[in-house]
Amino acid sequence: METTKKKGGRPSEAQTRLNFATYCESRAKGHNQKESGNLAGVNEKTAGKYERLRLQAQADRRQRLINLRQRLENKADSPEITAKELISLTLCIKQIDQEITEII
């Protein structure tokens, strides 16, 4: 009884997510795009798609943090805020600033 080799084709969605996660982890470790693609088991074209998705996700996260920071600053500028709330808002804004610089 011969076993047949499974045909190639498009990977499942779960496999795609796993490949993308592997790609992002290896990029975070400092590997370049080609090496990360090889480690994830994808070709260069797919690695390019993953890179665009990764950069877009970073930009989206950075923009959400900037918007949150702006809303907190506006709340801190309101006249009816107490000193205790102002201190906690200032700490939150500093944490957000730190996260924004880590993304860049």
Q: Quote the pLDDT of residue 22.
A: 95
Average model confidence (pLDDT) for the chain?
Answer: 91
Under the banding of pLDDT at 50, 70 and 90, the label for residue 11 is confident
Q: Quote the pLDDT of residue 10.
A: 86
Q: Can you give the residue ranges of every domain in the chain?
A: 13-103
Kindly tell me the sign of the dihedral angle through the C-alpha atoms of 61, 63, 64, 69: positive
Instruction: Please report, in angstroms and rounded to a whole number, the separation of the first and last CA atoms in the chain.
Output: 57
Residue linked to tokens 């370049």:
32
Q: Quote the pLDDT of residue 45.
A: 94
